[in-house]
Structure 1
Amino acid sequence: MTLLIRGGTVVDSIHSYRADVLCADGKIVQIGTGLDAPAGAVIVEAGEQLVMPGGIDPHTHMELPFMGTVASDDFFSGTAAGLAGGTTSIIDFVIPNPRQSLLEAFNTWRGWAEKAASDYAFHVAVTWWDESVHREMGVLANEHGVASFKHFMAYKGAIMADDEILVNSFRRALELGALPTVHAENGELVYQLQKQLLAEGKTGPSSHPLSRPSAVEGEAANRAIRIAEVIGVPLYIVHVSAREAVQEIARARGEGQRVFGEVLGGHLLLDDSVYLDSDFTRAAAHVMSPPFRPKEHQEALWQALQAGHLHTTATDHCTFCAPQKAAGKDDFTRIPNGCGGVEDRMGVLWHYGVNSGRLTPSEFVQVTSTNAARIFNLYPRKGAVEVGADADLVVWDPNASRTISAKTHHQNVDFNIFEGRTVQGLARHTVAAGKLVWSDGDLRAERGAGRYLPRPTFPAYFQANAKRVGRSG
């Protein structure tokens, strides 16, 4: 298929300029002014709109089996919804059960993802440790293109990685040149606070944030950063929600440590008052971990995003409908943790970031696409508008607006955490692998069109970094 985007303003992570973009066979093949459309080409008239790299959501959980149920968005519905919002690639998580083979779990997730409508990659979680995990991390990195491994510092008694697992896995990641990532919450503190609240008869959703105060995130972020410092490996911290965690990241980066931070659109915009809703269904719909914080944390997150201490924006897209959330009606610890957002991330970031003056259009591209591509070794195949890159593009209308609602979104869930917000700036057209998959409200997602994205590791750089800080060699 050949497609010509004509007359728009190309915006990448550095600059903007007027140009046409010609795509063929899934790639960008020419960028320039006054390009001729080949016979039979699909033409998109961009006019005064912006042409940007398609969004990359580096943190999703499609059809995740979790807390006794399965996330309601599968790899098709979730990626299709992403396309409607301008996101053309996701990085999802393979989460093995304790004692389960990492390769077995990886193959299971690969099977589920065959229905994806957009391209996808995987992080693989390390939930236990022995010599077989050490070996399989190598197989995943060297033979399957897994360049990042996840560690949950929370969820005691299930998938929590203790310090011994962190040390062993971080060392192995350093050997392989794979990036360790962490969910930073002190799992023991959370567990003890949950028990205390339940014993006091505080069983509703309002207890969820009380069981996971910001200090437990700050402590875990600091611990993971210090372990990474001693070992000499870079570190990526997912869904940073608390001022304390931001401070630890900024400190480490100021001392020359390679630490990257991710923030969710929800944590930038929502506060913990959502858990005080007298309607259980509405309050429970917001239960995710880390929880939404008091308002003062939001400003700290925005400032960190502007300052470059936080590098990517994600969603932690993990959707559960009201009947699923009702499992925790009498015990907040049984409410399945997760919220949606893959369709709305780009829109809310533009409206509250660019329209407010917090971000420039190029900075928007950085935090929604390019930085994720660079950190997770997909660049310049992804995250760039340049010849040879994948033709994953969004034609963005900065003047168009829409009101977000569960009644009109494409996500397979009955609630939207951004319900009722009107945002200005939206994806008018989305191009994935050179095909027009979203056009003026018409979703043309194809089941199974998405491709798996193997990612090379960084062994030479990681070893050099370790030697630089005096921890290896």
Structure 2
Amino acid sequence: MSVLIKGGRIITAADDYVGDIFIEDETVSLIGRSLDVRADKVIDAGGRYVIPGCIDPHTHMEMPFGGTVTCDDFTSGTISAAFGGTTTLVDFCLQQAGQTLPEALETWHEKIERAKPVIDVGFHLAVTDLKEKGTLEDLAKAPEEGVTSYKLFMAYKGAIMVDDETLFRVMQVASETGALVMVHAEHGDSIDVLVKQALAEGKTEPKWHAATRPPITEGEATNRAIQLAHLAGAPLYVVHVSCKEAIDPIARAREADWRAWGETCTQYLFIDESYLEKPNFEGAKYVYTPPPRPKENQEHLWHALSTGVLSVISTDHCPFRFDGQKTLGRDDFSKIPNGGPGVEDRLMMIHNFGVREGRISLNRMVELLSTAPARFFGLYPRKGTIAVGSDADIVIFDPNKKKTISAETHHSNIDYNLYEGTEVTGVPETVLLRGQVLVEDGELLASPGAGRFVRRARFGEELPGAAGERPISVG
């Protein structure tokens, strides 16, 4: 089906102009003013922003953790993403105990075959065991499958934390295979000691989740990962940066022109550690890792985003329901499943509090939410921009429409919202994936299976055309 988007304000990471976009065969075919073409569907985008579909490179759909499983699968989670203007996500394929790395990848492919996504999906490979079930040879083969990023956890001792030898060996493989290394940077050993000491002293409330994971533990691990990656010659991407202690070593690495970058997540820009003290165990809703920080870190994060020290805003969408999942830790904060929702709210929150309040420009917003993730994770220029030949992943955004964010109206399976009651100005109105309308005027028009698995290019390489997909069967 061909689509003509008329008269919108087209905004990319570099450009800002009024024009028309003609879409056919899933890609952008023409861009210009007053295009004289016939189309099966015409969308009047006058008074609207037209931006590339957002890319969320940090989600956890249907992920086992802490004795339970996140409550969004690849259908509900991607529907929620689509309503928020996200047209591609890259999810973490987590190697489980006893699994080889190829078995872990096959498990995640089975998930998207069963719970078919509405948007496009890629995978990171989260390595938890190289000694027993994983091999360096299997790791090296992952980029051939279009999985071009490796994730390692420097925390969660006794579960998924890796030691420094494993961390360094994976970095060495990445330097040889063209993969990007991603790290969850916290000093897991000291955190383990602090948690055990707190519990022994009867400190069980949610607020102790933050108290036992102080910012210095994140700063130390961030610096250690940067140094080891530089030694190995591997590119490094630090996920969910939450505080100045972690920003500073990234800033030093950027100034030295080392290949180290960082992201933050929406929640760290708005939620501080006081939320963990909400009564009636409500603070458990804000137990995610790293934890909410002292409020002054929010301005440090905004400054790092505006100056280029941090490169991406993701969500770390890791949804555990309050009733029945978060409450598993009612008497022990260490048993509260770590994670929070947010895949639907990112664009609206960043537009309202970032762009409208003058912290970042519209172009920078597009870069942080779409173009930079596409570049880091081997999706650009097929995704992450609006250009002839790129996938027609497009969001038509009404910058003046108001909305109150609430669990009553979001599309995730989770039973609460981190930003409950927040009024924003600016809402995705129409969302297209490869020219197919997914969402229009608050209604879902696409069916599960509209999305595809996308094989990504190696770090630093580009992904032209539409070849190399693994189609998802329907029916």
User: In the alignment, what sits opposite 2:300?
Assistant: 300
How far is the alpha carbon of 1:37 from its aligned partner? 4.3
1:160-199 alignment to 2 at 5 Å? 160-199=161-200
1:48-447 alignment to 2 at 5 Å? 48-114=47-113, 115-130=116-131, 132-142=134-144, 144-280=145-281, 282-322=282-322, 323-447=324-448
Q: Which one-letter code corresponds to 1:239 in the other structure?
A: H
User: In the alignment, what sits opposite 1:468?
Assistant: none
The CA distance in 2 between the partners of 1:34 and 1:299, in whole Å, is 42
User: In the alignment, what sits opposite 1:30?
Assistant: 30
How far is the alpha carbon of 1:445 from its aligned partner? 3.3
User: In the alignment, what sits opposite 1:7?
Assistant: 7
CA contact (8 A) 1:275 1:286 kept: yes
Distance 1:18 1:459, change over 3 A: closer
Partner of 2:221: helix, strand, or coil? helix
Q: What CA deviation, in whole Å up to 9, does each residue of 1:347-388 have, x standing for no partner?
A: 000011100111111100000000000111110000010011
User: In the alignment, what sits opposite 1:467?
Assistant: none
How far is the alpha carbon of 1:48 from its aligned partner? 1.1
Moved >3 Å (runs of 4+): 458-461
Q: What CA deviation, in whole Å up to 9, does each residue of 1:179-222 have, x standing for no partner?
A: 00000011111111100110010111111101111110000000
CA contact (8 A) 1:84 1:438 kept: yes
Give the % identical residues: 47
Q: Which one-letter code corresponds to 1:152 in the other structure?
A: F
Q: What CA deviation, in whole Å up to 9, does each residue of 1:228-279 have, x standing for no partner?
A: 1111211000000011000010011111101111110100111011111112
Partner of 1:306: helix, strand, or coil? helix
How far is the alpha carbon of 1:38 from its aligned partner? 2.1
Q: What CA deviation, in whole Å up to 9, does each residue of 1:115-156 have, x standing for no partner?
A: 1110010110111224952111122112x1111000000010
The CA distance in 2 between the partners of 1:265 and 1:211, in whole Å, is 22
Distance 1:318 1:312, change over 3 A: same
Partner of 1:75: helix, strand, or coil? coil
Moved more, 192-201 or 91-100: 91-100
How far is the alpha carbon of 1:98 from its aligned partner? 3.7
Mind listing any 5+ residue stretches in structure 2 that lack a counterpart? 463-475
Moved more, 92-101 or 184-193: 92-101
How far is the alpha carbon of 1:2 from its aligned partner? 1.2
CA contact (8 A) 1:37 1:43 kept: no
The CA distance in 2 between the partners of 1:377 and 1:437, in whole Å, is 24
CA contact (8 A) 1:175 1:459 kept: no
CA contact (8 A) 2:185 2:239 kept: yes
Partner of 2:401: helix, strand, or coil? strand
The CA distance in 1 between the partners of 2:332 and 2:306, in whole Å, is 39
How far is the alpha carbon of 1:458 from its aligned partner? 4.2
CA contact (8 A) 1:95 1:105 kept: yes
The CA distance in 2 between the partners of 1:273 and 1:434, in whole Å, is 44
The CA distance in 2 between the partners of 1:325 and 1:228, in whole Å, is 35
Q: Which one-letter code corresponds to 1:336 in the other structure?
A: P
Instruction: Specify which structure has the higher proportion of helix.
Output: 1
CA contact (8 A) 2:72 2:412 kept: yes
Moved more, 451-460 or 395-404: 451-460
Partner of 1:295: helix, strand, or coil? coil
Distance 1:438 1:367, change over 3 A: same
Mind listing any 5+ residue stretches in structure 1 that lack a counterpart? 462-473
RMSD across aligned positions (CA): 1.3
CA contact (8 A) 1:289 1:337 kept: yes
TM-score w.r.t. length of structure 1:
0.95
Partner of 2:234: helix, strand, or coil? coil
The CA distance in 2 between the partners of 1:341 and 1:146, in whole Å, is 24
CA contact (8 A) 2:376 2:460 kept: no
The CA distance in 1 between the partners of 2:11 and 2:179, in whole Å, is 30
Q: Which one-letter code corresponds to 1:315 in the other structure?
A: T
Distance 1:334 1:445, change over 3 A: farther
Q: Which one-letter code corresponds to 1:303 in the other structure?
A: H
CA contact (8 A) 2:378 2:460 kept: no
The CA distance in 2 between the partners of 1:204 and 1:132, in whole Å, is 37
Partner of 2:46: helix, strand, or coil? coil
CA contact (8 A) 1:183 1:239 kept: yes
Number of matched residues? 458
User: In the alignment, what sits opposite 1:16?
Assistant: 16
